[in-house]
């Protein structure tokens, strides 16, 4: 009799982890301190929104490479009592003075991701405040307290954060305020070192006391604007004072009998829905999980989805994105008809957009089964590399997602939001939440989400196994694989015409919580590609 594990069962003699299980609540984040923070809020009577805001604020301190109050956020929140999916867009806009002509007249063909022009007004704090006021039970004073303590008293740098930090020495050394904040003694902290950010603690304390207005209308805004204008930026205090996060109508598509929800453009959630609707036309669950056939189908559906995204997605307030038409049966059938099982599509050319892979995603389900999928980002590692001198805030570089082309819908303009890559996701069935989930990684996020979803629904993998499984990334001419993809699959992909390369970094970081209503169990999964932890009770 063999003791070998059954299909998809965890091999307990190999490294790995089991899913977290609970009956009351669950939190899954990319850092142990953030997960502990979320659980503390839930223990004290807070709901999923409260726990998510407190956790993401901590992540902005302890994972400064990935996120912070100088970035943007999106969230999908579904209160169990109403069954309505609320989507909030916390992405910031370009300065009012920005225009395509301004850049063209100065011979600037693309926005440098380390320049002041790459910094749009950070939208995260506005979104946190709106969510807390409308759906939370605690105020920002209570929710930001753990982040303030971490910034003021210090936090131990984890292994993955130390690794990412070390890779950004050139960027940090190029900006004196960044170096002073993040290179103590001239070097990046090592794993296990204690790091403090007292100026950031003071900024967080001001927001905890004064709310979002303290960020957008007070000394914090003045510090950021002065910093950016000294570096050639077009920003004004009015650009900050006029900004608000907004609720938007979520979009959805079906997949294997479930509804997959996303935020609408200017986010790239449409891409996930296009991939899902295209894949649904193929019996991908009959194929080997890591075989060339299945990876080819995943890759081709993704390449088609990204090509559509790159051609049309923009800020819908300054351009039209025909979401219903793009998700229609007719359009999806046309996309699917282009996929050949025997060769790669040769004529896809995406728009030239910068690579970006640095974000945090977290999810919380509370005792009432209210659930939230929450994503927050400063874009690149340490964003633009620009740190506001008085407040110690790392400023993102989301504006580098604009193009400088008057004919393109995503061209830069005043008070316009760029195409955005950060996308929370929510799976529902019959009007009830099944799984809030998401995957970080910039452009990678749509194909990352769909690999997790296909692993779960097509192949029947347990949740943690679906998160842990090796990944690919296909967009345009790019076809990257993690090193755990089998050699014979790589050879098969190359035979189909794909130019396969080994991914420089692990592809994305996923977190998910699956609600098993039949058994009354919450399954939480967090990605080992970072320092993620899922816990509940």
Distance CA 289, CA 286 (A): 9
**What would the two tokens of residue 502 be?**
């080994």
Asked about 359 being catalytic, the answer comes back as yes
Per DSSP, the residues of 271-290 read HHHHHHHHHTTS-GGGS-TT
CA atoms within 13 A on the CB side of 471: 30
Distance CA 468, CA 532 (A): 12
Q: Does residue 39 contact residue 47 with C-beta atoms inside 8 Å? A: no
Give 376's strand partners.
Answer: 73, 360
Cα 117 off chain centre by: 22
Q: Does residue 90 contact residue 74 with C-beta atoms inside 8 Å? A: yes
Return the beta strands (E) in 296-446 as ranges.
358-365, 371-379, 425-429, 432-439
Residue 309: partners with Cβ closer than 8 Å, 6 or more residues away: 268, 270, 271, 274, 419, 446
Using CA atoms, how far residue 305 sits from 221, 278, 363, 457, 517, in Å, is: 38, 9, 25, 20, 33
Distance CA 125, CA 53 (A): 10
The alpha helices in 44-175, defined as continuous H runs, are: 48-62, 100-105, 124-135, 140-143, 145-153, 159-166, 169-173
Distance CA 30, CA 25 (A): 17
Distance CA 303, CA 33 (A): 37
Catalytic choice (120, 271, 359, 421): 359
**What would the two tokens of residue 108 be?**
């600037």
Give 511's strand partners.
Answer: 438, 526
Q: What is the 3-state secondary structure of 65-80?
A: CCCCCCCEEEEEEECC
Residues classed as catalytic:
359
């Amino acid at each position: 009799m063999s003791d070998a594990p059954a299909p998809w069962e965890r091999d307990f003699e190999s490294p790995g982890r089991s899913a977290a299980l609970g009956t009351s609540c669950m939190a899954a984040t990319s850092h142990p301190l953030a997960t502990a923070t979320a659980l503390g809020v839930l223990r004290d009577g807070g709901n999923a929104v409260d726990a998510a805001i407190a956790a993401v604020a901590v992540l902005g301190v302890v994972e400064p490479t990935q996120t912070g109050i100088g970035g943007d956020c999106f969230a999908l929140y579904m209160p169990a009592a109403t069954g309505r999916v609320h989507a909030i867009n916390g992405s910031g806009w370009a300065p009012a003075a920005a225009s395509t002509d301004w850049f063209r007249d100065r011979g600037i063909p693309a926005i440098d991701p380390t320049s002041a022009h790459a910094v749009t007004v950070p939208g995260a704090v506005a979104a946190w405040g709106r969510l807390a006021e409308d759906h939370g039970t605690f105020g920002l004073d209570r929710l930001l307290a753990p982040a303030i303590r971490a910034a003021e008293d210090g936090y131990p740098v984890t292994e993955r954060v130390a690794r990412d930090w070390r890779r950004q020495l050139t960027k940090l050394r190029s900006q004196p305020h960044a170096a002073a904040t993040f290179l103590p003694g001239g070097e990046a902290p090592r794993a296990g070192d204690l790091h403090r950010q007292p100026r950031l603690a003071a900024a967080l304390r001001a927001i905890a006391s004064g709310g979002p207005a303290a960020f957008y209308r007070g000394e914090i805004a003045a510090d950021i604007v002065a910093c950016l204008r000294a570096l050639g930026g077009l920003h004004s205090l009015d650009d900050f004072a006029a900004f608000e996060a907004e609720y938007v109508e979520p979009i959805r598509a079906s997949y294997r009998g479930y509804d997959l929800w996303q935020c609408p453009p200017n986010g790239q959630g449409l891409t996930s829905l296009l991939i899902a609707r295209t894949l649904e036309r193929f019996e991908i669950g009959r194929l080997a999980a890591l075989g060339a056939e299945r990876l080819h189908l995943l890759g081709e559906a993704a390449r088609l989805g990204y090509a559509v995204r790159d051609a049309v997605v923009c800020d819908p307030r300054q351009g039209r994105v025909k979401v219903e038409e793009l998700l229609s049966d007719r359009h999806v059938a046309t996309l699917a008809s282009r996929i050949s099982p025997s060769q790669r599509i040769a004529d896809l050319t995406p728009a030239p957009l910068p690579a970006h892979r640095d974000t945090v995603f977290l999810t919380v389900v509370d005792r009432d089964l209210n659930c939230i999928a929450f994503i927050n980002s400063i874009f690149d590692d340490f964003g633009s590399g620009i740190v506001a001198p008085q407040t110690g805030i790392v400023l993102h570089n989301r504006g580098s997602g604009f193009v400088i082309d008057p004919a393109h819908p995503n061209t830069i303009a005043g008070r316009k939001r760029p195409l955005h890559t950060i996308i929370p996701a929510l799976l529902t069935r019959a009007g009830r939440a099944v799984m809030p989930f998401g995957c970080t990684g910039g452009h990678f996020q749509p194909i990352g989400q769909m690999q997790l979803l296909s692993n779960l629904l097509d192949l029947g993998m347990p949740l943690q196994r679906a998160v842990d499984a090796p990944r690919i990334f296909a967009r345009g001419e790019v076809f990257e694989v993690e090193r755990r993809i089998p050699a014979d699959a790589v050879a098969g992909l190359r035979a189909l015409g794909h130019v396969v390369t080994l991914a420089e970094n692990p592809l994305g970081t996923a977190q998910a919580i699956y609600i098993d209503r039949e058994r009354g169990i919450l399954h939480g999964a967090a990605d080992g590609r970072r320092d993620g932890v899922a816990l509940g009770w």
